[in-house]
Structure 1
Amino acid sequence: MPNWCANRLMFNGIKNSDALKTWIAGGEPSLHRRARKEGIQLFLAGCAGILRPLTEQHYSPYPQLVSYGAAADNRPSAQAYSDWLAMFMAGAVLNVETCQTLHQCWLDSHIACARWDTLSEPEQSVIRQMYQQKSFDWGDSFRPAPVDEWWDSLCDVGSAVPAADPMDFRDVLPTRLDIEVNGFNGGLLTGVPSSYDHYLTRYGCKWPVGYEANICFAGENTLTVDFDTPWSPVGEDVVAELSQRYGGELEHWFAEQGCNYCGYARYVCGETDVYITDELEWGEADPDDEDSFPDVTGPEWIINNVAHFGG
């Protein structure tokens, strides 16, 4: 398990408090999560030869994706798959508009009708082999479902859009389709980052959501929310974008006692105004109590500005 970094965001001059609270709470339909699931299914459909593009293609990160050549005719499903493939190969950024376009490609490809029992044995074999390699990334579980159940769940994703996580930073700065298919551990697409590496670079933390999110104060145009992130604080680019989107001024405090660091930043209309980091300061442990642990005593500006000190 990771050490948890404690974060506090204080918004001032909020432009749309209802939208901000909705994002913090999560639960709304997550278009990027749907695009990821549909993308994994379409990727596998290409690798198994279930779907083929209108013209011959080459994809060096994973040649098997287009190894079956071009479609025999120009039916609408082949056009839809070609459109999806072009966006996938270009590393499409999963903003709202692109996610909607990708979903239409998925619908028009009719891959949702290709349930497990309708696939040929060679098609099933390709999917089974690739799922064995990537099940922990694609199945979103340490105990992945059997491949037939998992595949059929992908067929159903269009009618059951996944819910957004609380404080999903991928709804602030969009991720990329090819990276999401490559998965957290990567190793599938040559030259494409794992989502682990991408998340650290883009969001500042390996799991790009706010854990244990709690709105501890909400006024007419102000809001303060506490949350945790694994090992490191949410990244500067994310908070800058939040200040641009929701509030004229946004302050960020963070601390993680396991690695002995803390920080403070202020953003104004999307620009970084202040960013400082420091080590935590500690009191003395009780010499008569071998189980005692010293308290954090500073810096002064971090005291009472985070819900806890992480660890």
Structure 2
Amino acid sequence: MTIYNNSLSILTFKPQMEELLALFGTKNESNCYQPFHLRAIRHSIKLFTAGCAGILQPVTDMAYAPYPDLVKFGQGENNKANEAFSVWLKCLEADIPLSSIQSERICSLYEDTELTNLNWFNLSREQIAIIVHLFNQNGDYWFGHSGQITEDDAIFYWNNYLDILPLQADFDLRYIVPTSLASELNGHNKLLKGIESIRDFYIKTYCVDSPEINEINVMPQNDFGLIVEFDTQLAQLSENVIIALSGQHKCDVVYTYNTYDNRYGDVIVAQKGRLLKMNDD
């Protein structure tokens, strides 16, 4: 029998149950949780590298202090692709949270740039050199690629990986509290000056170093109740996650966390977006 160190006991109305089951990875026909944030992150990687390589340019004189080379080629032609890139650049400057609405917006801007139709073999040698350098600089986070990224690797990432629908975890905390566009691009604090590393952002926001949870136990109790069990690495979830969960789904949530040795435990109770109780043992 698997013992989990996190438990969510949820009480809600029947209309909310289908959304909650979808949130926790239970298959249903609603498809109300699509990984738009993951698509937006991948598309933003391609937009970022395209800007650095001069493939896309802002239509006005713009700067980006955390990484000036993003706009080093200066102002470009006033066309649909560059206009979309300019809007995306403003989103990056504002470090918008990647909610479903904002993520869909980024995906739409990406489509307007038509980068998906730009094949690697149509790039110049200068553009290729810049993109391969960036892929090597941040490829460990962007692609999970350890070691040197060759040009053959880069061809796959550009022509395929950054345009395909990514797999999603059983449970992703970023659906509850959106992630940061700039930190997702920054990865392990290697790229953007003055921007939080993604690990620092995750710990600050969720209190865990990864928002993806791939092994969960979902137990519907009746038409109004649900118990969800899962593990997190050496840490409990942030109270803000529990409050946001209860508010988004208009439900009552009792969150319980215990260490495996039972030396420490915590209980957080939230009701429809309001914190009712916190209890550290």
TM-score (structure 1 length as normaliser): 0.82
Q: Greater shift after overlay, 255-264 or 215-224?
A: 255-264
Deviations 1:73-103 (A, max 9, x none): 2111111111111111111111122112111
Deviation at 1:13, TM superposition (A): 2.4
* Aligned partner letter, 1:197: D
Are residue 192 (structure 1) and residue 195 (structure 2) matched? yes
DSSP 3-state at the match of 2:185: helix
Deviation at 1:234, TM superposition (A): 1.4
The corresponding residue for 1:97 is 101
The corresponding residue for 2:254 is 251
The corresponding residue for 1:112 is 116
Q: Are the aligned partners of 2:254 and 2:267 in contact in 1 as well (CA < 8 Å)?
A: yes
Q: Distance in 1 between matches of 2:126 and 2:246?
A: 51
Deviation at 1:230, TM superposition (A): 1.5
**1:148-167 alignment to 2 at 5 Å?**
148-154=155-161, 157=163, 160-167=164-171
DSSP 3-state at the match of 1:267: strand
**Structure 2: any 5+ residue segments left out of the alignment?**
28-32
Gap change, CA 1:103 and 1:26, over 3 Å in 2: farther
* Aligned partner letter, 1:124: I
TM-score (structure 2 length as normaliser): 0.90
Which aligned segments of 4 or more residues in structure 1 are displaced greater than 4 angstroms? 141-145
Q: Are the aligned partners of 1:266 and 1:275 in contact in 2 as well (CA < 8 Å)?
A: yes
**1:69-84 alignment to 2 at 5 Å?**
69-71=74-76, 73-84=77-88
Are residue 170 (structure 1) and residue 174 (structure 2) matched? yes
Out of 116, 134, 145, the residue aligned to residue 138 of structure 2 is: 134
* Aligned partner letter, 2:44: G
Out of 35, 56, 63, the residue aligned to residue 61 of structure 2 is: 56
* Aligned partner letter, 1:188: L
Deviation at 1:57, TM superposition (A): 1.3
Aligned length: 270
Q: Are the aligned partners of 2:242 and 2:268 in contact in 1 as well (CA < 8 Å)?
A: no
Q: Are the aligned partners of 1:182 and 1:188 in contact in 2 as well (CA < 8 Å)?
A: yes
Are residue 240 (structure 1) and residue 243 (structure 2) matched? yes
Deviation at 1:24, TM superposition (A): 0.2
* Aligned partner letter, 1:16: Q
Deviation at 1:5, TM superposition (A): 7.2
Gap change, CA 1:89 and 1:259, over 3 Å in 2: farther
* Aligned partner letter, 1:75: N
Q: Are the aligned partners of 2:4 and 2:229 in contact in 1 as well (CA < 8 Å)?
A: no
DSSP 3-state at the match of 1:162: coil
Are residue 17 (structure 1) and residue 36 (structure 2) matched? no
Q: Are the aligned partners of 1:209 and 1:229 in contact in 2 as well (CA < 8 Å)?
A: no
Are residue 8 (structure 1) and residue 7 (structure 2) matched? yes
Q: Distance in 2 between matches of 1:32 and 1:275?
A: 30
Q: Distance in 2 between matches of 1:113 and 1:154?
A: 14
Deviation at 1:162, TM superposition (A): 2.2
Q: Distance in 2 between matches of 1:221 and 1:236?
A: 23
* Aligned partner letter, 2:154: V
Q: Are the aligned partners of 2:5 and 2:260 in contact in 1 as well (CA < 8 Å)?
A: no
Deviations 1:50-73 (A, max 9, x none): 1101012111100000110010x2
Are residue 182 (structure 1) and residue 189 (structure 2) matched? no
Deviations 1:194-223 (A, max 9, x none): 110000011110001334111134211000
RMSD value over aligned CA atoms? 2.0
The corresponding residue for 1:273 is 276
Deviation at 1:134, TM superposition (A): 0.8
DSSP 3-state at the match of 1:77: helix
Q: Distance in 1 between matches of 2:225 and 2:250?
A: 8
Q: Larger helix proportion, structure 1 or 2?
A: 2
Deviation at 1:187, TM superposition (A): 2.0
Deviation at 1:247, TM superposition (A): 4.5
DSSP 3-state at the match of 1:229: coil
Q: Distance in 1 between matches of 2:196 and 2:138?
A: 15
Deviation at 1:140, TM superposition (A): 2.8
Q: Are the aligned partners of 1:5 and 1:233 in contact in 2 as well (CA < 8 Å)?
A: no
* Aligned partner letter, 2:182: D
Deviations 1:159-200 (A, max 9, x none): x422432221101111121111111x1221001101100000
Q: Larger strand proportion, structure 1 or 2?
A: 1
Q: Distance in 1 between matches of 2:264 and 2:134?
A: 41
The corresponding residue for 2:37 is 32
